[in-house]
Structure 1
Amino acid sequence: MAFKHCVQVGILGRYADRFTEYQPPRPLRDRLAATSGIDGARGVELVYPPDFEDPAETAALVREFGLEVAAVNLNVKTDPVWRYGSFTNPDPAIRARAVSDLRVSMDLAADLGAGLVTVCPLIDGWDYNFQADYQKQWAWLIDGLREAASHRSDVRVSIEYKAFEARQSIIVPNMATTLHLCDRIGLDNIGVTMDVGHALIAGETPAMSAVMAHDAGRLFYVHFNDNNRAWDWDMVPGAVNLWDMLETLFYLDRLGWDGWFSYDVFTKHGDPVEAFDATIRAMDALGRMLDKLGRAELQDLIDTKSPARATEYLLTTLAR
């Protein structure tokens, strides 16, 4: 199984939590240069606005290092202006800024040949009961995303859901809610970024989530990472949930997915470039494991509906 590997170059920069800083900031040139040296990495996911202080220079750097842009990731969470929300902010001027930023991101994605913007509205939600007006928030989200995505039909807008963080409850917490949101917006260029780690913390089976999004014609982008289902730890795929990773790959392959695999993997200790290199090698190994297990054999296990037989087959085959 072959993959189109994409590095989220923002992850090669500063990484910190509320306790300490684990990785220092690095300029975009250094991050792109490092990416170009990772075996198998073909694409990059750039973040707007921080990676676009000079859009012409950003485009030139991508060309210089022989990379493709898989997507532009719109950040509507870290700037203090978004403290009370982006597309669902009670202030109409700030909601208008979120719409404007998404439109700018769409133009940048088109100019860079990506044709895709991914956006994760992590700051849109609530922490307490009676804190948010759910009716207004939902309407603002629909109207804002519809207004922004209507800017141009040749660029797709992919919504990344997450159950919690930065809010305790995020307005798009799972696949079902996000697909319903896409239907309410009603535009063909609105879809879903399925982050496998986010599916895990939402209590989903990632393979089923992928099937749902594909069935709706809304599976636009995929992030791969792993965690313990309790928190979004952004670990190397297969570190914890090996069978979920293999099953997700099995279904993506069966669905004919030929898009990018973008990796949302952070490392607190060691070199983040080495972590991405290990991630790509791990994904390639998962692909070889799927080849070894065999698509027809796995489908036969599904059809026979014998979970005990399935577990025995998976373990004994991989142990050979």
Structure 2
Amino acid sequence: MSYKNSILLGTIGGYRDRFHQYQVDRSFEERLSIAKSIPRTHGVEPVYPQDLGHDGSGVKVLKESGLAVSAVNVNVKTEDKFRDGSFTNPDAAIREEATQYVMTAMDLAAELGAEMVTVCPLIDGWDYAFQVDHIKQWRWMIECFAKATAHRDDIKVCIEYKAYESKNHIILPSMGRTLHFCDRVGAKNLGVTMDVGHALIAGESPGSEIAVANEAGRLFYIHFNDNDRGADWDMLPASVHLWETLETLHYMREIGYDGWVAYDVFTRSGDNAEAIASTFEIMEDLDSLLDKIGKDKLQQLIKGGRPQSTYRDLIKALL
């Protein structure tokens, strides 16, 4: 394992859906303390402005914790002013505010010694046909990210794409469209956060998308979790898609990925800190499985291209 483990701080706080709350709410300080106590933790991913504060007051607390920061997560979706969109809001003042959030987060990331911010534009999209002007939305997105990325070239801006939620259709729903968007903006410091769970619900193969994003020079960050491809369940890695997860790790090795991997894993039952600790162990065990199979065997199977023998041989290699 050459990558570094990071915890999304929200995963060890309160967790709720439409029906119940499953975990207790915890302060920023409490979550940082728990993160420090989890073995194999190399860093954390805080949220701006909810964790760090609009005024950046949380930076001092985070620095005092001694934890490294993988990236600052920019939240431009939950505040009421973003109800009709952030970067694609028809109100130019709201678009400007969303862009300023990214630029402020970039400054805070630099202060925290991080190299990236990550943003998931979940509120930018549409629910119905003829609900939005697609031409204007696309142009507004380009304008916002062109301005944000120009703010400073020493901090990368990572777009975490997703097919749906909270809008039925999100403007950047897939790896391909996100890479095209990055090319349209043209900034060298604009790239992708590849969330394995988001790739799955988009009908993608995460290993393939990693290969494509890396070839484009846009693979900046990776989030791991799992689901059934029907919804973003944020389950433990490989709990549903064992083979796809192993393939993802294989291609991370092939491209020499040694950056940050953050874990977006929520649990309804049991202790959520324990779930993150288990996640780290699972990832190490998956790496060990790849070692047991061996690179030569994997390359031989890929070259053969026959699934009827591939899975037979893979299972035999694991016995």
TM-score, normalised with respect to structure 2 = 0.98
Structure 1: 5+ residue stretches without partners: none
Partner of 2:302: 302
Quick one: distance in 2 between partners of 1:3 and 1:280?
12
Report how far residue 57 of structure 1 moved: 5.3
1:110 aligns with 2:110: yes
Partner of 2:6: 6
Partner of 2:38: 38
Question: Residue 140 of structure 1 aligns to a residue in which SS?
Answer: helix
Report how far residue 314 of structure 1 moved: 1.0
Q: Quick one: which amino acid aligns to residue 235 of structure 2? A: M
Partner of 2:227: 227
Partner of 2:215: 215
Partner of 2:257: 257
Partner of 2:155: 155
Question: Residue 187 of structure 1 aligns to a residue in which SS?
Answer: coil
Partner of 1:65: 65
Runs of 4+ in structure 1 off by over 2 angstroms are: 53-66
CA contact (8 A) 1:2 1:284 kept: no
CA contact (8 A) 2:48 2:54 kept: no
1:92 aligns with 2:106: no
Quick one: distance in 1 between partners of 2:64 and 2:104?
23
Quick one: distance in 1 between partners of 2:123 and 2:255?
32
Q: Quick one: which amino acid aligns to residue 31 of structure 1? A: R
Partner of 1:140: 140
Quick one: distance in 2 between partners of 1:113 and 1:55?
18
Report how far residue 149 of structure 1 moved: 1.0
Partner of 1:193: 193
Partner of 2:78: 78
Quick one: distance in 2 between partners of 1:54 and 1:62?
15
* Residues 232-241 or 62-71, more deviating: 62-71
Quick one: distance in 2 between partners of 1:79 and 1:23?
22
Question: Residue 5 of structure 1 aligns to a residue in which SS?
Answer: strand
Q: Quick one: which amino acid aligns to residue 133 of structure 1? A: D
The one-character-per-residue Cα deviations of 1:54-103 (angstroms, maximum 9, x if unpaired) are 86653343343331000000001111110000000000000000011110
Partner of 1:173: 173
The one-character-per-residue Cα deviations of 1:267-303 (angstroms, maximum 9, x if unpaired) are 1111110110111111111111111111121011111
* Residues 150-159 or 12-21, more deviating: 12-21
* Residues 260-269 or 303-312, more deviating: 303-312
CA contact (8 A) 1:82 1:89 kept: yes
Quick one: distance in 2 between partners of 1:158 and 1:35?
23
The one-character-per-residue Cα deviations of 1:190-243 (angstroms, maximum 9, x if unpaired) are 000000000000000100000110010000000000000100000000100000
CA contact (8 A) 1:2 1:287 kept: no
Quick one: distance in 2 between partners of 1:158 and 1:97?
18
Quick one: distance in 2 between partners of 1:62 and 1:130?
45
Question: Residue 50 of structure 1 aligns to a residue in which SS?
Answer: coil
Quick one: distance in 2 between partners of 1:100 and 1:111?
17
Q: Quick one: which amino acid aligns to residue 257 of structure 1? A: Y
Quick one: distance in 2 between partners of 1:160 and 1:196?
10
CA contact (8 A) 1:69 1:113 kept: yes
Partner of 1:291: 291
Quick one: distance in 2 between partners of 1:88 and 1:101?
14
Partner of 2:182: 182
Q: Quick one: which amino acid aligns to residue 237 of structure 1? A: P
Quick one: distance in 2 between partners of 1:112 and 1:66?
10
Q: Quick one: which amino acid aligns to residue 262 of structure 2? A: S
% identity of equivalent residues: 51
Report how far residue 13 of structure 1 moved: 1.5
Quick one: distance in 2 between partners of 1:282 and 1:55?
38
The one-character-per-residue Cα deviations of 1:81-134 (angstroms, maximum 9, x if unpaired) are 100000000000000000111100000011111110000000000011111111
Question: Residue 220 of structure 2 aligns to a residue in which SS?
Answer: strand
Q: Quick one: which amino acid aligns to residue 171 of structure 2? A: I
Structure 2: 5+ residue stretches without partners: none
CA contact (8 A) 1:3 1:284 kept: no
Q: 1:78 to 1:4 in 2, by over 3 A?
A: same
* Residues 7-16 or 236-245, more deviating: 7-16
Q: Quick one: which amino acid aligns to residue 7 of structure 2? A: V
CA contact (8 A) 2:63 2:112 kept: no
CA contact (8 A) 2:179 2:213 kept: yes
Question: Residue 70 of structure 2 aligns to a residue in which SS?
Answer: strand
Report how far residue 14 of structure 1 moved: 1.8
